[in-house]
Structure 1
Amino acid sequence: MTAAPVLPTAFDPTDPVLNEEAIPLQEFLELRRTAPVHWVEQAPEARAGFLDTGFWAITKHADILAVSKNSKEFSANENGVIIRFGPDMTREQVELQGVMLVNQDPPDHTKLRQIISRGFTPRSINALHEVLIERANKIVDDALAKGAGDFVFEVAAELPLQAIAELLGVPQEDRRKLFDWSNQMLAYDDPEYNADPETAAAEILGYSMALAEQRKADPKDDIISKLVTAGEDGEGLTDDEFGFFVILLAVAGNETTRNAITHGMHAFFQNPEQWDTWKKERPSTMVDEVIRWATPVTVFQRTALNDVEISGQLIKKGERVALYYASGNHDEDVFADAGTFDIKRDPNPHLAFGGHGAHYCIGANLARLEVDVMFNVIADRMPNIKQAGEPRRLRHAWINGIKELPVKYS
């Protein structure tokens, strides 16, 4: 067995250059063994927008779960959930993001989540099933016609984008705008994109607010109308709340599912026996293993509201803690052979939807449906898909992203 590495003094698992190479799973293993609550001193350019000098890295599954469930002592709102912004991020900009659901604490979070949940009922998600199967088949038709290409752009990104457009009632021809805007908003660490996050956020806010105004004037049977008009509770989202919801959906519903599908396909390429198992048996456990393996969002943060202990380590009021889902999803105390991609893994209590508690991913069932539909259609329609080149990873602090995966479709 390979010995876990000795950690460098300045090891920072949010370093985007480090994550462009690979998620540092061996270093996480060493932290779980020796320092499950580990202080990380951030370089000045890495802590833009934050008032402190670093954070506590939480790497054990049990600790991540405990913090995720404890909204009374750990705040999502105090510093937001993003552990590392671009170097130009100001404190004022961090605080402005408090209007987003993911950055709120109860009772504001509870109230806003109740409204947004109107669009994510089991009935709403189940109603998409047949439509997504139809769309996945068309996506595969177009890919097969090309013969070879980039799996990320042509396959993995398409179904989440089309699902968001279908769910929102956004014209399908506008879905690429969502794709480009979300890339620009997130890719501030990757020089290839020459990203302009502020302009992209303004564009998506303007587009979303215009949609909200249209639906208020002429309601339709779609999620926008359900969210911006008064429901049984007598309240709907304001135009700006709806705009920030679309930003969240473009990121959480597009980037994350796209990367889950891409990492899943790459894992199948690396483990052809698992692909054979999937084609022959179609175990229902496949979806959660793909999501565990991918862990598209590797880390979110909370801020301590009081002095509190985690695994014997005192966390002082006001200090940030980083919940490393990518580490928790490889915790050997929870997952036997965690480094093995096993689509029959059961049970699979992964943390890729943000752990449990108030911030459990509101779109988890939609994400599961998209992954299930896409891999069923791929197995049915292009079972002999092959990798044609090495994946190119995204340079990012908290997204486990793949920018390109060359394949031969048939």
Structure 2
Amino acid sequence: MNTPAETSPSTSADPAPSGPAVPNPAASGSAGSGPDLADPRFWQLPAAVRSAAFAELRRRPAPAYFGERATGRGFHALVRHADVVEASRTPAVFLSGPGVTTPEPARWVRVLFGDSMVNLDAPRHAQLRRIVSQAFTPRLLGRVEEDVHRIATALVDEVERSRPEDFVGAVAAQLPFQVICTMMGIPEEPRRAILALVDRSSADIGVARPRRRLRVPGRGLAALARMQGIVAGIGRERRRRPAEDLISALVTADVDGRRLTGRELGAFFTLLLVAGVETTRNALSHGLHLLTAHPEQRALLLGDLDGRLDGAVDEIVRHSTPIIQFRRTLAVDHELGGPGGPLLRAGEKVALYYGSANRDETVFPDPDAFDITRSPNPHLGFGGGGPHYCLGAHLARQEMAVLLRELYTRLPAVRSVGEPDLVPSSFDHRIRSLRFTF
């Protein structure tokens, strides 16, 4: 699947699938007898069935290979914790530059919109990351922390006043979006338009679309272009009159004689919205439902918010794993796990399945259990380490902890109602909506 920043436009109207039969999880793919991760219908199977399929793949002596009809190629599925960590921390072997999503972003899209940092390798990735890291000054981070508390408080105020029914739209999506816009220095006026553009650009990430809905050619890219145009305009203004916000810091930062160009600024903002808003929104939504579905864990948390909150945040991220997979491309032949290990050839693709790594029985005892006391908890919910480890991991943890504390302190009876409305996807663990009450 593709992120909004890297989606290529369709060349013709494409009718939605008419509801093909869901395959038997034991049906053969190119990996032999077993699940076929390249079949979009696999991602429509119940979560328990998919979890069992990944457990079976983890027991195999080597990564399974899956062919993709659309590209005529395929990928090796890295499903063990150790393998995902190795691929993440060996960037000279496992390249991101060709593209970490599927299909790979078209060259003209990358030229027009700029490269997202997730699709870059050293030295350019390191240079851009230094520019961004330099912009996150202690003063800016201090203001962000204040903003997180202020926005979380205001959202819970509004929940008490208006009693909304959908937790995703009213709370989980609003917190990271408002925090990022405030941090970047996006004025209030264009925020509503930007949020609508974010929704439009990411509308087709899932593997299933509603019946009879037509995909509009270039719809996602048109939304992306408008969004980046708004941000580029703000960037030009900040170059003339800097303010105390992240856009000003990014457009005036000077690292090795380099500053962010307008396209780079737009690409970074898009990455922030996808990585910062979508993932935190989904983690928060899964978190409320998990704490509702496991009342004994909820009781533990409410009994000691100060002592249990950090553990609850990490366990929510591990158990839900908001990003399911990213891809890498082999730069050279490589024996996975060391000499004598499975041989991966130069030019081949691998898919890093973070959700499977987070259920690895050799690392996490009783991995399917939701346990906020789990320690240690070396989950890969923010990546497997290395140069592409999530820049916003600290902010995401902070947002989740602050909002959960605010909710359970002021509305201790808050809980989800019914099952979440999930979007079948091989890219992210998205919740479309989640009814809740208090």
CA offsets 1:281-321 (integer angstroms, 9 cap, x no match): 12122211111112111100000011112252221111100
**Aligned equivalents of 1:326, 1:155: Cα separation in 2:** 25
CA offsets 1:251-300 (integer angstroms, 9 cap, x no match): 00100100010111111111011111111212122211111112111100
CA contact (8 A) 2:85 2:384 kept: yes
CA contact (8 A) 2:88 2:384 kept: yes
Greater Cα offset, 98-107 or 66-75: 98-107
1:260 is matched with which residue: 283, 286, 290?
Answer: 283
Question: 1:21–1:94: structure 2 CA closer, same or farther, 3 Å change rule?
Answer: farther
1:389 is matched with which residue: 411, 415, 418?
Answer: 418
The within-5 A match list for 1:33-52 is 33-44=59-70, 47=71, 52=72
Question: 1:231–1:22: structure 2 CA closer, same or farther, 3 Å change rule?
Answer: farther
Give how far 1:70 is off. 0.6
**Aligned equivalents of 2:44, 2:140: Cα separation in 1:** 36
Match of 1:360 in 2: 389
1:203 is matched with which residue: 212, 217, 226?
Answer: 226
Do residues 329 (structure 1) and 352 (structure 2) align?
no
Question: 1:95–1:352: structure 2 CA closer, same or farther, 3 Å change rule?
Answer: farther
**Aligned equivalents of 1:7, 1:91: Cα separation in 2:** 37
Give how far 1:131 is off. 2.2
Give how far 1:100 is off. 1.2
The within-5 A match list for 1:245-256 is 245-256=268-279
**TM-score between the two structures when normalised by the length of structure 2:** 0.85
Do residues 372 (structure 1) and 401 (structure 2) align?
yes
Do residues 72 (structure 1) and 92 (structure 2) align?
yes
**Aligned equivalents of 2:329, 2:145: Cα separation in 1:** 38
1:314 is matched with which residue: 343, 354, 360?
Answer: 343
Question: 1:331–1:103: structure 2 CA closer, same or farther, 3 Å change rule?
Answer: same
Match of 1:240 in 2: 263
CA offsets 1:357-383 (integer angstroms, 9 cap, x no match): 010001111111101111011101111
**Aligned equivalents of 1:208, 1:295: Cα separation in 2:** 29
Match of 2:37 in 1: 13
**Aligned equivalents of 2:259, 2:121: Cα separation in 1:** 19
Do residues 161 (structure 1) and 185 (structure 2) align?
no
CA offsets 1:60-111 (integer angstroms, 9 cap, x no match): 0001000100111111002x111347xxx75654787772111000000000
Do residues 149 (structure 1) and 165 (structure 2) align?
yes
Percent of residue pairs bearing the same amino acid type = 37
1:26 is matched with which residue: 33, 39, 52?
Answer: 52
Aligned partner of residue 172 in structure 1, secondary structure: coil
Greater Cα offset, 203-212 or 383-392: 383-392
CA contact (8 A) 1:229 1:235 kept: no
Give how far 1:15 is off. 4.7
Aligned partner of residue 393 in structure 1, secondary structure: strand
Question: 1:97–1:132: structure 2 CA closer, same or farther, 3 Å change rule?
Answer: same
**Aligned equivalents of 1:219, 1:94: Cα separation in 2:** 28
CA offsets 1:155-186 (integer angstroms, 9 cap, x no match): 10111011101110112343333333233223
CA contact (8 A) 1:268 1:274 kept: yes
2:78 is matched with which residue: 55, 58, 62?
Answer: 58
Do residues 228 (structure 1) and 255 (structure 2) align?
no
Give how far 1:120 is off. 3.4
Match of 2:4 in 1: none
**TM-score between the two structures when normalised by the length of structure 1:** 0.90
Match of 1:219 in 2: 242
Match of 1:286 in 2: 312
Give how far 1:232 is off. 5.7
Letter in 1 for 2:184: L
Greater Cα offset, 137-146 or 114-123: 114-123
Show structure 2 runs of 5+ residues with no match: 1-23, 30-34
Letter in 1 for 2:376: P
Cα RMSD, aligned residues only: 2.2
CA contact (8 A) 2:320 2:429 kept: yes
Match of 1:82 in 2: 101
CA contact (8 A) 1:6 1:30 kept: no
More helix by share: 1
Match of 1:120 in 2: 136
Letter in 1 for 2:121: D
**Aligned equivalents of 2:196, 2:160: Cα separation in 1:** 24
Greater Cα offset, 234-243 or 174-183: 174-183
1:108 is matched with which residue: 97, 119, 124?
Answer: 124
Question: 1:221–1:94: structure 2 CA closer, same or farther, 3 Å change rule?
Answer: closer
Letter in 2 for 1:289: E
